[in-house]
Structure 1
Amino acid sequence: MNYSAELKKFVTGQSVYSGIRITLAAVLPSLVLVHFGVLKDYYLFPLGTIFVALTDQPGPFIRRRNALSFAVACFLVVALIASLVMNFKILVLLEIIVFGMFFSLIGIYGQRLAAVGSLALVVMAIFIDGHLTGGNIARSLLIFAAGCIWFLIIFLIVTTIQPYKLASQMIGENYLQLSEFLKIKAGYYQKNPDFDKLSSQVIAKQIEIKNLQEDTRETVFRTRTIVNESTTTSRLLMLMFLSSMDLHEKLMTSESNYQKLQQSFEDSMILVNIHDYLILLSNEITNIGLSLQIGTKAKPVSNLELELQKINSHYFELRNKQMNAGTLENFMILRQILARINEITKDISDIYKIFSQDIKLAKSLSTGLDIKNFVPNEEKINFKVLRNNISLSSSHFRHAVRVTTALLIGYLFSLFQFIGIGHTYWILITTVAILKPAYSITKKRNLLRLYGTVVGAVLAYGILYFVSSGPVLFAILMVSMILCFSLLKIQYFWAVLFMTMYVFLGFNFLSPGHINIIFKDRIVDTAIGGIIAFLVSYSILPVWEHTQNLDLMKKCVESNLIYFQSVMSKFLTDGFNMQDYKVKRKNAIISLANLSDNFQRMISEPKNQRKKLEVVHQFVATSHLLTAYIASLSQYSKNKEKYPEIDAESWSRKIEAEMHQIFTLLNGEDIDKALQMESRLMPDDEIEELLIQRKNEILEREVFDRRDPDKVSHLTELKNIHDILELIYDVAREQRKVIEKYRNESHATLPQS
């Protein structure tokens, strides 16, 4: 692992940038308060700043501003009501029920409001017993309100000064993820690769890429200054993001029969050389991503032209020595792979040219896309949506019931004074932080929070025991805060560890000498909150992932079918709509990632809830292959070449019939005989005759030493198109057999659970 590059990725990313901003927004006012000796009386100010800051999710400026404003209003209302009713236990219980349900349910409007809802419940927890507010409620609320508004002001200032910073960092992260994806794909060309492990890594990385692309798409396409293409920077950022999407597709198109490839060229070094070159390309993509995050111009790290020339020369030398009638088709496959690598190299070189910041290029840039077709859907803020989700059939409502129940149990548990719980709000905060809609995520976060709290508490205890220097403790506090806020979304264990450390150090600055009490309370309260969250997530209206599989499988099949039809339109007619194609490509990738993500969560659930795990696994694996093969086929839809030798109509009918059968089976219906007949069509391609002719030429020693790496013979392209169509059909048929087998074993239609 290149630790230097990994460190640069982390340090220059939006996570650290956000962590530093939150830390400075909270600490700088605290330093002023320390200077005047009143921090102990005004500690709710930095607390309010941190709470509002944590609700800030990546996205367009207007939505972030509106969400932060809404968060400030919610926090103040919650703090006010919690402070007024804290001495009336019945009203406190009613408050927990109302706020617990409402702030959990607003997650139906997207992740942004879900974050506001979770933090609103945390605010309720800290004001619920008056432990932090003291006797003067009005004064405490004013201080808290000032801290909340302070971060909103900081946000407005920073985004005005750096309007493109977030978009640039997120686009940079897209390239970094693509770099990691290419490294995984390069693993297929190593000696003796672990195919199962690599396939699992490809699926996991596709999920990460999809989630990041969705967030970036919203940020870029809904940011007015970028969409309007009013400046050089905005236009170049738009082009960089669109280029990353196209590059992602090209990386997917390198799918091949790797096992056969390894067998065919196991005695040669060509595959190892391809692996090494792909790692070089990966490093170049990393360089592009880092430059975008930092905000500098990128320059190539390696001489790609020279390295590509070496690998092409190696191929042609091997071809001239070993190609014969028996190995012709193997070399055709390898030639096509090298052609893809040449295209990817060209794309990377073109992306570097964008970094030249050519004003003429920027001014002439026009995406030609209808942006609204590419923006993620988000529920509109209206009460009808909320009302429709007040039902046990809604997963959001069931989650709200679990959160509210856990908060009620945690609060009632804290009332037992003989246990000696000193920080009621820590139990409630732990419960809110751990409980998530998915059981698997709740289970994982539960363990990570407990481990992180224990390790962080021990480290903080040791630091406070051995270190007495105020400046040193303050420096550790600052570093802990930055790391906590930076890692909160990507490494939960480390985030909790550093959070525990800065909480201990913060309490020590406010109340020196009480470390033993804090140590005990923090660990005990976290353990209690974790146990409550676990029991509630398992027993109160749980939503198991297997109940989502059927709908996600249907959506995935449907999206792949539509994607395939869009690609085949070029072969069947002269009309190929690039925008329509890109929308359908996006939908297919999203549907595939959603299904894969659901399967990954399902693996972490109790064994008795992993219904038909093997079938779902096979379905996910075949769906990935289908999408990748369709992406490979799409490369021939976007060029001007004609392929009349391919019986495109028969292939289209044959494959579509197979995919329609899968969809029919998933709906629990019987397959129509007409579909069965369509899927048995025999396309009348002219490939075999052309191959025989070429093999005869080779037998007659008519082998031409053509060394143009950019030129692929028409026959090679025809053979590759034919092979891809066969692969798509074979995988679709395999997927249909998986579902048929499941139905035969069940002796019934596919159930919902």
Structure 2
Amino acid sequence: MNLKDPLNSANVNVTEVRHFFYTQAFADGIRITFAILLPALLGSYLGYFDVGLTVALGAMVVSLTDSPGPIIHKRNGLMAAAAATFLVAVLTGLVHANPYLLGAEITLVTFFFSMFVVYGARATSVGNTGILVMILTMDRKMELENVLPHALLILAGAVFYLLFSLALYRLRPYRNGQRALGDCIREIASYLSIKADFYNTSSNLEENYNRMVAQQIVVNEKQDLVRELFFKTRQIVQESTNHGRKLVFTFVETVDLFEDITAAYYDYRSLRNLFGNSGALDIIHESLKKIVVEINAVGVAIQSNASFRKGFDYDEEVKRIKTEIDAITVDGRDSKLVLRKIVVNIRNLLTDLSNIEQYFETGIKRKRSGVDHSHFISHQSLDPKIFWNNLNFESSGFRHAIRVCLASMIGYLITQIFHYGAHSYWILLTIAFMLKPAFSLTKERNIQRIVGTVGGGIIGVALLLLVENKTALFVLMVLCMIGTYSFMRINYLVMVMFTTPYVLILFAFLGTAFKQVAGERLLDTVIGCAIAFPMSYWLFPAWESQQLKINMRGIVKANALYLQKIIQALLGEKISVLEYKVARREVYLNSANLSAAFQRMLSEPKSKQGPRSQMHQFVVLNHILFSNIATIATALLAKEPRVHSAELIQVAKKTYAKLEESFKKFGDEEELPKLRDLPLTEATVSADDELMKEQLNFIYSVSKDIDKITASVV
């Protein structure tokens, strides 16, 4: 069999493109494009093109808030955005003729709406809507009596988009959930593909660790999105329908699959030393890659609402690898116990996969999961006190709002001093949407904005020079619109490369010289980026190295509490499934937060990064730690509770104590829960216990390394 990574091959790249058309991102692109075009085309057909264009503007700006999530959040976000666009449109219309009043409005609006970042991502998008409608209407000349009608037309567009989006949801209430679940499963397949590469003796272990940590961030984001969608959507969370129960059941099995993938961890360097020349690792690698293809196919089928057929017989696959591994001769002591354990892990993965595939079976009467969903979702408070409590320089949201406000004022002054074009508001547009709370994100956006504008500008000008047919140009513009709104939340660079031709073709239809517009857009983008970038560096910067210790502390605590469940199981206590899953989720969440913060830190100036190599080692060691804890947890929870040997319990307690030491080094007054000091009794030691002893000693060694790094960093 060809061992080439199926998720990175050219064939799969073609498959990825094909299945992009089934994603939520593409569905969003189609929906937003239609909602913007319909009012404009209808207005043009009826002879009221300006009216249609204004209504389309309202639909376009509120679409920024229509991100994936529970329907109640989407509805509330769209309603808040509609109100914000109306109020800001009225205010801008009243003051636009007076440059001083307009400057004051820019100051207030950019600061106020940028502070929405303290309420989370959806509230931030609502704030961006308010800023955007101000920027897009500030250069529009209108008489005082036209201000309210103009604002009402924008509101009409916003309300139209709100009703249109909600109507589409009502038609297919489970479709968003299917897409999100399928996407999550496919990312888990990518994670397993990386894990499989550890068994490829020609791969670089360090690179594999980096890829695995980065992919874990993606998987965690996808899982959180599915949780939000499922557990905050009434039809699904109540599991009142078979479809809702089917989605919840499949997601629960998907999370268990991810844990079993995570738990399938071993000391890969040691494995290569023991079995590198035996061919055993090649057998495992090949089998895992087959499972990767299968999981990916399941994700695609759910995502595209299609049927699924197994690619191979799972029981026969387990028998095959067991037979082949049993036939392998290993020099020295009998070390095949580890290999047999890996075979058991593979069998567990295939069992999880079979459970997930029940999604496609009909005639199954599913019971409610009985899961207390409230423990697995977060709630964002919208209390006004949060806004007021963040009005100080200790708040990163406040510092961000100050940066956006001052940078926007500088951009506005430049447009007032140098009258070089008709669309100088693009400078403000660039500034407002380039500046992010973290320097690393601002830097990344600036680079992508300039590269995307140049590339998109070349494409746009080429299209306008080569294509003269108006119908063909309109089709190309629509395709660029779909590309813009499809990639809006998943790839900023690609979005900008679609946006620039879309804007150039639109202005060409409006009768503006497109070459002049292209040059002006590039210049405004460069000026905006030139203002935004230094502001993010010099003005109250938020460096990730300063925040990283909070994330480091969080993962040490989460790992300790996760280990506590293992100690309870070793003592013979029956572990609550709910408590265990909550502890597991906290580990995944804190690990993803730490990894994401570290990745952002790497794009910051080296002088601001802190001990880079040590922090990287800390990230990897904690991933190794919880992977090994998950390995032991999977083995313990699969069997009836029993008291294990005192030696195993003592090693686990030593590891907990070491994590407790690391936690205290962060200087917080909070203390970890104390372990119960029960009398230890002798217990029968099985072959599995011998392997568990090795794993516990290994995680104790890892915990000591974590403590050393913590001491040096803190």
Equivalents in 1 of 2:538, 2:644: separation in Å? 61
Structure 1 runs not aligned, ≥5 long: 691-713, 743-749
Equivalents in 2 of 1:543, 1:259: separation in Å? 38
- Kept in 2, the 8 Å contact 1:26–1:47? The answer is yes
Query: Over residues 618-645 of structure 1, what are the superposed CA-to-partner deviations in whole Å (9 max), with x where a residue is unaligned?
Result: 2111111111111111102312244634
Which residue pairs with 1:234 in the alignment? Answer: 244
Matches within 5 A, 1:191-210: 191-210=201-220
Matches within 5 A, 1:100-111: 100-111=110-121
Q: 1:721 aligns with which of 679, 692, 697?
A: 692
Query: Over residues 164-209 of structure 1, what are the superposed CA-to-partner deviations in whole Å (9 max), with x where a residue is unaligned?
Result: 1111111111101000001111111113210111000000001111
Which residue pairs with 1:470 in the alignment? Answer: 470
Deviates more, 1:94-103 or 1:302-311: 302-311
Q: 1:254 aligns with which of 252, 264, 273?
A: 264
Asked if residue 638 in structure 1 is aligned to residue 665 in structure 2, the reply is no
Distance 1:584 1:226, change over 3 A: same
Query: Over residues 123-174 of structure 1, what are the superposed CA-to-partner deviations in whole Å (9 max), with x where a residue is unaligned?
Result: 1111223269999434432322221111111012101101111111111111
Q: 2:71 aligns with which of 51, 61, 76?
A: 61
Equivalents in 2 of 1:118, 1:650: separation in Å? 55
Query: Over residues 80-134 of structure 1, what are the superposed CA-to-partner deviations in whole Å (9 max), with x where a residue is unaligned?
Result: 1011101222222221222112111112111111111112111111122326999
Q: Write the letter of the residue equivalent to 1:738.
A: I
Equivalents in 2 of 1:180, 1:131: separation in Å? 53
Q: Percentage identity across aligned positions?
A: 31
**Aligned residues between the structures:** 697
- Kept in 1, the 8 Å contact 2:51–2:153? The answer is no
Q: Write the letter of the residue equivalent to 2:519.
A: K
Equivalents in 2 of 1:338, 1:643: separation in Å? 26
Distance 1:133 1:25, change over 3 A: farther
Equivalents in 2 of 1:327, 1:603: separation in Å? 44
Once the two structures are TM-superposed, the CA of residue 250 in structure 1 deviates from its matched residue by: 0.6
Which residue pairs with 2:6 in the alignment? Answer: none
Once the two structures are TM-superposed, the CA of residue 685 in structure 1 deviates from its matched residue by: 8.7
Matches within 5 A, 1:350-361: 350-360=355-365
Give SS of 1:346's match: helix
Which residue pairs with 1:730 in the alignment? Answer: 701
Equivalents in 2 of 1:636, 1:476: separation in Å? 57
Matches within 5 A, 1:155-554: 155-318=165-328, 322-323=329-330, 326-329=332-335, 331-360=336-365, 362=366, 365-378=367-380, 380-418=381-419, 420-511=420-511, 513-554=512-553
Q: Write the letter of the residue equivalent to 1:532.
A: I
Equivalents in 1 of 2:459, 2:682: separation in Å? 70
Equivalents in 2 of 1:454, 1:538: separation in Å? 24
Equivalents in 2 of 1:3, 1:134: separation in Å? 55
Which residue pairs with 2:568 in the alignment? Answer: 569
Distance 1:134 1:338, change over 3 A: farther
- Kept in 2, the 8 Å contact 1:426–1:525? The answer is yes
- Kept in 1, the 8 Å contact 2:181–2:302? The answer is yes
Equivalents in 2 of 1:165, 1:234: separation in Å? 11
Distance 1:731 1:333, change over 3 A: same
Give SS of 2:21's match: helix
Structure 2 runs not aligned, ≥5 long: 1-8
Distance 1:646 1:294, change over 3 A: farther
- Kept in 2, the 8 Å contact 1:207–1:593? The answer is yes
- Kept in 1, the 8 Å contact 2:427–2:527? The answer is yes
Q: CA RMSD in A?
A: 2.2
Q: Write the letter of the residue equivalent to 2:504.
A: F
Q: 1:10 aligns with which of 3, 17, 20?
A: 20
- Kept in 2, the 8 Å contact 1:544–1:609? The answer is yes
Distance 1:588 1:27, change over 3 A: same
Once the two structures are TM-superposed, the CA of residue 37 in structure 1 deviates from its matched residue by: 4.3
Which residue pairs with 1:607 in the alignment? Answer: 606
Distance 1:293 1:456, change over 3 A: same
Distance 1:533 1:684, change over 3 A: farther
- Kept in 2, the 8 Å contact 1:646–1:722? The answer is no
Give SS of 1:62's match: helix
Give SS of 2:425's match: helix
The TM-score normalised by the length of structure 1 is 0.89
- Kept in 2, the 8 Å contact 1:571–1:643? The answer is yes
Equivalents in 2 of 1:495, 1:269: separation in Å? 46
Q: 2:99 aligns with which of 82, 85, 89?
A: 89
- Kept in 2, the 8 Å contact 1:568–1:648? The answer is no
Query: Over residues 244-279 of structure 1, what are the superposed CA-to-partner deviations in whole Å (9 max), with x where a residue is unaligned?
Result: 111111110111111121122222222112112111
Distance 1:610 1:519, change over 3 A: same
Equivalents in 1 of 2:432, 2:363: separation in Å? 50
Q: Write the letter of the residue equivalent to 1:366.
A: R
Equivalents in 1 of 2:466, 2:47: separation in Å? 25
Equivalents in 1 of 2:495, 2:246: separation in Å? 34
Equivalents in 2 of 1:663, 1:228: separation in Å? 39
Equivalents in 1 of 2:134, 2:446: separation in Å? 21
Q: Write the letter of the residue equivalent to 2:32.
A: I
Distance 1:132 1:246, change over 3 A: farther
Equivalents in 1 of 2:283, 2:639: separation in Å? 31
